[in-house]
Structure 1
Amino acid sequence: MIKKLIWLKEYIDINIITLNKTNIAWIIGALFVIYFFTTKVLLYDLYDFARDKDGNIVGSYQTQND
């Protein structure tokens, strides 16, 4: 059993370090998911400013220019 665990550990270490097509595809997929969620989803929620009918950003920190 110990030999099997040592073989499994070495197998996992070699596959993580080796950049074959599968690992490159996983890395690209992970980077795409990170990019998509940080730019398309989270930033729209974080920067969803209220706008008036002219398209100007309306915020509580801005003064009114009447």
Structure 2
Amino acid sequence: MRTVKLEHNDDIVLDPTDPQLVKRGSLLLDGHECGEWEQRRDGTWIARLSVSGETIIAAGRDDLIERLAFSSP
């Protein structure tokens, strides 16, 4: 199981052309930055892994963290 940390980046980096975006930030797995995450107004949370290009969509924050913790490296 991996250690997952969702770093919240400053809100000024939000894309003003995307009104569905609530928050976004850096994704750290086992202490290494490896992608980004975002929270959407419809309640979904999305993680994009930079190396594999994989996108993980979850129903909430806890669900996203759990899925990332058990994902393959």
The TM-score bracket by the shorter chain reads under 0.3
Q: Report the TM-score when normalising by structure 2.
A: 0.19
| Structure that is richer in strand per residue | 2
Q: Taking structure 1 as the reference length, what is the TM-score of the superposition?
A: 0.21
**Greater helix content:** 1
Task: Name which structure has the greater RCO, CA cutoff 8 Å, separation 6+.
Answer: 2
